[in-house]
Structure 1
Amino acid sequence: MSIVRQILEPFGKVTKLSIKDNFCLYEAKYTFLSSAPLDRLKETLEIHLTRLNQSGVSVVITVYDNNPIRISSDNLGSLDEKVGLIVDELVYLEGDVDIEIRIDKEESVNLNIFDLSVFVEHIDSLSLQENLEAWSKFDLSTPFSVDVWEDTEPFTTESICFNSVFPNVNGKSDAITSESCKLDKLGKVEKRDKCGHFANAAQFNFIPNDFKVCCDKNKQLKNFFNGLFNSFLIVYLSDFSSISGDTIKYRLKGYKLLSGSVDFSDLMEHDSSELSRIYEWTYLEGNYTDKIGLARNIISIHLNGECILSIECGTSDSVKSGYDLYLKDNVKQYIEIKNKISDFLQSQSDKALDMTKSMFSMFKTGLWTFTTFFITVFLLRVVNKGTLSGVFGFEVYVVSLLLIVISFIYLLISVMEINSDRNRLIEKYSDIRGRYKDLLDKADLDKIIDVETVSLKERLYINKKRNRYILMWIITNLVILIAVSILYCSSAGSNVERDIETEKVNNLNGLEVFTSKIPQEDEVIVTSQEHDVRVESKLEGQESKPLTEVSSASGLDLKSK
């Protein structure tokens, strides 16, 4: 069944003169007998022209006689008049009459084909570049329907569906709806441009899937679309490609440089299963940059000749195996990087511990300085004087205060130093993260080294230790200050008592001198109460007198004693 045949049916037996069917125009010329009955011509033309008009095509039927009569689908109001003229004219004609059916397809959204075999002959006559220019006029980003106005077997690619407009016995079309057209076409084009250059990219925005055959009941269409499919497989796997006329040129940089050109006729018959599997694997998922680089390397060393079409069977499996090894190496490198970061974190933690230990060492050094000083002072004083009395004098007290002041200055310097080292240590976390941000995924890097959390943790640890040592340092200095003050006050009191005892001893020494001058026959008793020393005579009749009086009588001067 064909709509053209249905239109010509009222004209009886017709003879085909010529048919042309392309992307823009259908034009067919026939002859029929002037004696044709023309039964139901008006009704037949009205039904079919209306349907064609609704599909977006414009139909003009011309009957050639002495005065050509044209019937247009855009002016069906004059159909009665035109049919009447044809009937009237045929009465006076004998023999064959020429009739032409011209259908303009430019305004239709879909592609309309009225004679599929003629259309296939047309696309076969075009070059590869001309075919792509024709198909580029249609939007293949969604399933694109090609309406065939005759009975035909369904034929589909992943983006194009050739469907007969006539229903089958079940009232349904045989077309297969292509779900693959929903693929991310734009994403694949972006990947191609990222690692390759297609010279005709501005003209032909296709992906191989647009022409991948799904239902291949029409052998002529199958070969044609297989050629287009293979062409874009080469485009999407090569570093550089261009299409000119019937030839596609390519350059592929792998372990070996592969460069050449292929005719469209060779591409139509070629079994592209290996290249197709490599393409699907490369562009489907995963890291495209790594995969396309590896695929090009493997392809370049798995060829039976110098042409990309001579690829060895099983190359796709080699590509996948190579990628698995590549991933294992990457995993090894990833583990090494992760271990390096872990070692860095551990070393930073050790540095934080060393920082706090260094402050504690400073504290011990200051404490040992005090200890050494006091031990030295006490030992020297005890050795020289043989007693602990009066060991801590004013000079020692002043030196002790000076050491305490120096200790506080030393504390301030230590705090400034540890704060500076702490800030520098925390900054290194951001530095190490910035160093690996180009190698690792941001989320994964945040998981391995969470700069904010780690920095806060180290800062709190260092600050806690620092504050603890500051408190110990201050308390120790205060204890030493209090102890020094107490020792100094005690030593000052001991010195006063020692001076009084010294004066008493001197007075007694003077008394011994005095008694040595008293006549031996006089027996005297010397007594002392407080500071009043008296001399008593044991001879009868002698009374006791104060030492001063006795000394005066004896001619001794004891005032200085």
Structure 2
Amino acid sequence: MWYHDFFNSIGTPNEIEIFEEDFNEFTIEYSYPTILLPTEETIKNIFAEVKNSDICSFYLSIDHGESVVIKDDNNFSLSFNDLNNLLSSHEEGEKINIKINIYKTSTDNQFHFYSKDCFFNYIKSFDSVSLANFFSSSVFDHTSKIYILINDFVGTLNSSKFFIAAQYQAEEEDYGYREKRINNIISNNHSSFFAKLKVLPEDFIFSGNGEIELLALEQFQRLAKILLIASIFDITDLTKESFYYKLNGYKSISESINTANVNIKNLDDFYNIYLWIYNSGNILDKLGLARNLISLHLKKDSSLELEGDVFESLKSSYKVYEKQNVKQYIEVRNKMSDQISDYGKRVASFTDNFANGFQKSALSLVTFFSSLIVTRILATPKNNSDFIMYSTLITLVFLGITLVYMIISRFELSEQESRFKKSYSDFKKRYTDLLTEEDIARILNNDEEHNSDLLYITKKRKWYTTLWILVLALILIATIVYYLYGNATPPFQDDKLPSPKFI
């Protein structure tokens, strides 16, 4: 690496005083008996190797004296002269300390490391519970993937939450399932620590060809296995020193072991079981079956190792379980189908009531108005003006009442629609104890029939409301014409009729 090349180019160091890095800072310090004076260009090359958004500082001191600090700024030349003056005062036997310090910044969940050795050492410095808490902390954005970019890293390592490589490569992210899965784990297991975390077991199970230090890999895998056990067993508790677990199956097992001694064997077996439980199907049924079989295959030496192929036995047992329950499943499915049919009848019923209300109202209005016309034709001229006035007023009253009736009918239809939606939602919730959400969605065709019923209600309401308003408007226009025409008709000459009166 460039920093090692620099330190070796100025002399033979006594030792490395500091060589460490975390997500915020990188520091490396060498001590020398004597050095060759670095040139301005050499130090500028150090700054050139640093990421643009990071802040790099170069320190030189003699023994425990005050350091000369050089930064990539306008005071570079002046600081370099101070460096020369300090080195000119160096005496034989005095230790020269040279340090490079980099303060790092991160954006878009991308974290830069200058040394893979430092990164792996940093990971190894955590115990399991601290590592889980750290990667669940506010340092990271937990709504997207975390990219760890390491200068001298070869290959790539990829997991559900992390991508480790030398260069950034956009990865497809599927974060929609995570919150639901965490909630499923918390609600089906009693764990003192899982609810506080933002990580899942699959976050620490890597694929890819990246070179990773064995002890760091074991640290990740140990944490993954602890999280897997917490996702499957009944009760778990994790501290820095110990990991407690309790499993209630065909046999009841309760142990507490040293956290550092959690065996990473059978990691793939536990991971396959975990995915099988939480990817699809009835979680409670699968958890119960898994706990029963694991309790029979778990070694008695508290190593959390399994004997035999538990996963294959689990899949076979579940097939038998499904066959035993297929009759009940079909009965439940048929019952749900019958209820969906009843919902369709309910929709037809209250939309028909709305339509019938329109038909009766419209028929009454047309009949009443027609009778007025007939009466107008047969009426004697003496009461012509009064008759037109009073009949017009009565017609307008009928129109007003019909309009109010339409508004009330629409309100009642909306209320019935709301009750229908709530009833359907409650109907789905009642079956969540027997079926998974996926099964319910499949039986109900992803609510296709329900949505079709709601669309039918909307169309009916819109169509009959439009028709209702159109009829009212036409009768209102006809009434106005009737009134104007009736008053405009000249009376018989020998009869003097009074002018129209309005109340």
TM-score range, shorter chain: 0.5 to 0.7
Q: Specify the SS of the correspondent of 1:242.
A: strand
What pairs up with 1:157-556 in 2 under 5 angstroms? Answer: 157-164=159-166, 173=167, 179=172, 182=175, 184-215=177-208, 217-218=211-212, 219-267=214-262, 269-305=264-300, 307=302, 309-337=304-332, 437-438=430-431, 439=434, 441=440, 444=443
Q: CA deviation at 1:195?
A: 0.7
Q: Specify the SS of the correspondent of 2:164.
A: strand
Counterpart residue type for residue 211 of structure 2: K
User: Which residue is equivalent to 1:104?
Assistant: 103
Q: Which residues of structure 1 form unaligned runs of 5+?
A: 165-172, 345-429, 454-561
Q: CA deviation at 1:120?
A: 2.8
Post-superposition CA distance 1:176-234 (Å, at most 9, x none): 76657656221210110221132123532210111002136322332121111111111
Q: CA deviation at 1:151?
A: 5.2
Residues 199, 80 of structure 1: alpha-carbon distance in 2 compared, 3 angstrom cutoff: same
Residues 151, 301 of structure 1: alpha-carbon distance in 2 compared, 3 angstrom cutoff: closer
User: Which residue is equivalent to 2:126?
Assistant: 126
**TM-score normalised by structure 2 residue count:** 0.60
* CA distance in 1: counterparts of 2:338 and 2:223, whole angstroms: 55
Counterpart residue type for residue 79 of structure 1: F
Q: CA deviation at 1:85?
A: 1.5
The question of whether the paired residues in 1 share the 8 Å contact of 2:153 and 2:211 is answered with no
The question of whether the paired residues in 2 share the 8 Å contact of 1:233 and 1:275 is answered with yes
Q: Specify the SS of the correspondent of 2:297.
A: coil
Post-superposition CA distance 1:522-551 (Å, at most 9, x none): xxxxxxxxxxxxxxxxxxxxxxxxxxxxxx
Report the number of matched residues.
352
Q: CA deviation at 1:110?
A: 3.9
Which has the larger displacement, 149-158 or 192-201?
Answer: 149-158
* CA distance in 2: counterparts of 1:133 and 1:283, whole angstroms: 23
User: Which residue is equivalent to 2:82?
Assistant: 85
Post-superposition CA distance 1:284-334 (Å, at most 9, x none): 222223222222222122223264722223111111112212222221112
- The match for 1:71 among 69, 74, 78 is 69
The question of whether the paired residues in 2 share the 8 Å contact of 1:11 and 1:32 is answered with no
User: Which residue is equivalent to 1:46?
Assistant: 44
User: Which residue is equivalent to 1:390?
Assistant: none
Q: Which residues of structure 2 form unaligned runs of 5+?
A: 340-422, 454-503
Counterpart residue type for residue 163 of structure 1: A
* CA distance in 2: counterparts of 1:106 and 1:244, whole angstroms: 31
Which has the larger displacement, 207-216 or 90-99?
Answer: 90-99
Q: Specify the SS of the correspondent of 1:52.
A: coil
**TM-score normalised by structure 1 residue count:** 0.54
* CA distance in 2: counterparts of 1:102 and 1:254, whole angstroms: 55
Residues 68, 149 of structure 1: alpha-carbon distance in 2 compared, 3 angstrom cutoff: farther
User: Which residue is equivalent to 1:5?
Assistant: 4
What pairs up with 1:9-48 in 2 under 5 angstroms? Answer: 11-23=10-22, 24-32=24-32, 34-39=34-39, 42-48=40-46
Higher relative contact order (CA 8 A, sep 6+): 2
Q: Specify the SS of the correspondent of 2:50.
A: helix
* CA distance in 2: counterparts of 1:65 and 1:445, whole angstroms: 79
Q: Specify the SS of the correspondent of 1:213.
A: coil
Post-superposition CA distance 1:220-272 (Å, at most 9, x none): 33212111111111111122222210432222222332322343333364241
Counterpart residue type for residue 52 of structure 1: V
User: Which residue is equivalent to 1:59?
Assistant: 56
Q: Specify the SS of the correspondent of 2:17.
A: strand
The question of whether the paired residues in 1 share the 8 Å contact of 2:153 and 2:165 is answered with no
Q: Specify the SS of the correspondent of 2:148.
A: strand
* CA distance in 1: counterparts of 2:338 and 2:117, whole angstroms: 72
The structure number with the bigger radius of gyration is 1
Residues 115, 15 of structure 1: alpha-carbon distance in 2 compared, 3 angstrom cutoff: farther
> Is it true that 1:135 corresponds to 2:135 in the alignment?
yes
Counterpart residue type for residue 43 of structure 1: E
The question of whether the paired residues in 1 share the 8 Å contact of 2:160 and 2:203 is answered with yes
Post-superposition CA distance 1:17-73 (Å, at most 9, x none): 32342434433221246450413xx334334435535244x3332100386344365
The question of whether the paired residues in 2 share the 8 Å contact of 1:437 and 1:445 is answered with no
* CA distance in 1: counterparts of 2:428 and 2:78, whole angstroms: 85
* CA distance in 2: counterparts of 1:161 and 1:189, whole angstroms: 21
* CA distance in 1: counterparts of 2:80 and 2:317, whole angstroms: 73
The question of whether the paired residues in 2 share the 8 Å contact of 1:11 and 1:37 is answered with yes
* CA distance in 1: counterparts of 2:175 and 2:337, whole angstroms: 44
* CA distance in 2: counterparts of 1:69 and 1:436, whole angstroms: 70
Q: Specify the SS of the correspondent of 2:193.
A: coil
Q: CA deviation at 1:338?
A: 6.1
Post-superposition CA distance 1:103-129 (Å, at most 9, x none): 334767544433433443343343222
The question of whether the paired residues in 2 share the 8 Å contact of 1:157 and 1:178 is answered with no
* CA distance in 1: counterparts of 2:217 and 2:170, whole angstroms: 17
The question of whether the paired residues in 1 share the 8 Å contact of 2:225 and 2:264 is answered with no
User: Which residue is equivalent to 2:461?
Assistant: none
User: Which residue is equivalent to 2:475?
Assistant: none
* CA distance in 2: counterparts of 1:271 and 1:341, whole angstroms: 42
Residues 316, 142 of structure 1: alpha-carbon distance in 2 compared, 3 angstrom cutoff: same
Residues 280, 176 of structure 1: alpha-carbon distance in 2 compared, 3 angstrom cutoff: farther
Q: Specify the SS of the correspondent of 1:77.
A: coil
Post-superposition CA distance 1:106-165 (Å, at most 9, x none): 76754443343344334334322222233223345533222323354544444223323x
Alpha-carbon RMSD across the aligned residues, in angstroms, is 3.9
Residues 285, 3 of structure 1: alpha-carbon distance in 2 compared, 3 angstrom cutoff: farther
Residues 250, 281 of structure 1: alpha-carbon distance in 2 compared, 3 angstrom cutoff: same
Counterpart residue type for residue 208 of structure 1: P
User: Which residue is equivalent to 1:148?
Assistant: 150
* CA distance in 2: counterparts of 1:200 and 1:93, whole angstroms: 56
